[in-house]
A and B are shown apart, each in its own frame.
Chain A
Amino acid sequence: MNRIRRISTIRDEVLEDRGRRPSEPLIRVAVAAAVGNPWFASSVEDFAADVRKICPPLAQEMMRRGLDALGQPVEAFGKAVVVGLGGETEHGDALVHNPFFSDVVRLGAGGTSVIASTESRGPAGTAVAVPLCHVTAAGTRSHYQGMTVRVADAPEPDEILVVVALSSAARPAARIGDRRTDPPFDPTPWRP
């Protein structure tokens, strides 16, 4: 039940952002795979054996398409899951928060960072904003970006939509500095 039913590859080529033209177009790619929820209609406590079997080929299949569509080095990456309404959010977390998925993504992307993610449950057609961060320095502010993805007929109730997003560069008009350039700030008077 964990076969891929549908896989959508989406490539955004950003030539201009509010009148600013980056020297090279910014390329963002998302690969969204609708896969059967391996734990649908069952109460499973231990996901480890299934995850070890399912995740490496899934991540490889998705990354092959993603890297091919990006066509250049990966500077930022992210992932997301939307679990169909017959499953638990935990099923989606199980599929993407493990080395068998994430290390294949990092290997393909040449990355070492934690991969930014979101996890949700929803009906088919749920839009998901996939968060991306820098592949080796997650705190790099210029590379925080999002890519909104939606597959019209997925996830079905017994499916999980798994998404990986890759970006070629920083935001086209990044200009919010970095933690090294921020002026000193004492939050104490603002303690919530």
Chain B
Amino acid sequence: MIEGAIWRRWVFFRLPMAIFLIFLLFPFYWMIITTFRPDGELYIPWYRANYKPFWTWNPTTAHLKYLFGETTFAIWMWNTTFIAVVATAISLFCGVLAGYALSRLNFRGAALLGTTIFVTYLVPQTLLFIPLSEIIRAYSLGDTPWSLILSYPTFLIPFCTWLMMGYFKSVPKELEECARIDGATRWQAMLYIIIPVAVPGILSAMIFAFTLSWNEFIYALVFLSSPEQKTVPVGVISELVRGDVFFWGPLMAGALFGSIPVAIAYSFFVEQYVSGVTGSVKG
């Protein structure tokens, strides 16, 4: 692709690419190395001669032991997983049906409703968290996983709906018509033909919804209070930071392990995720 001398390839491609990769990935390297570095090596000021940032010859699992032994990190992981899975399931169910209706059925108000859902997709969580916290309290859902399971769909459903609308539009209308001539009702045509054909779209909505709910922070911060109810992001911030004291080893271990589930989910579905990113902007 890049014509000309080798130096051109270095200047215009390899060097910038390398700098981008270092900038984007170094924090993860730092997370990992800190997780396995003994405290004695961690707390050396940067201007000392014995500050050796990039490697350790004395790896330790002390921070991991602290994280899983002394804190309720494992419970936070379970809470986050449970909430993310249930919220994703609810959102997919609603979003797939709504996306189907909005993209493939003719009815009055379809355009208006589609626009409304697009607008709610753009409403940031930070606009509504205060009144929502009041409502959660009024429904007696405060400090339960259900406060999040029911509120996460507010940003997941519009997203799933929008993504699925785009996907359904790409499925030829004739498939449905053929199914209806073959003897299927509209409902059966949707269930047996269009939804199975849309599985790749559903997968990318699923993986996206899962990472979004795994990463959600402000609702979890506001709605949950007891340590054993918390999700990973909130648990880490409230239990591993005491006043001004940061437990950097366990913190980085927590950050690392809290990122692993999304990273795994992501690695299985990179293609779907990427098409989700691009689908969400193309609409």
A in complex with B: no
User: Taking beta carbons and an 8 Å cutoff, which residues of B are in contact with A?
Assistant: none
User: Taking beta carbons and an 8 Å cutoff, which residues of A are in contact with B?
Assistant: none
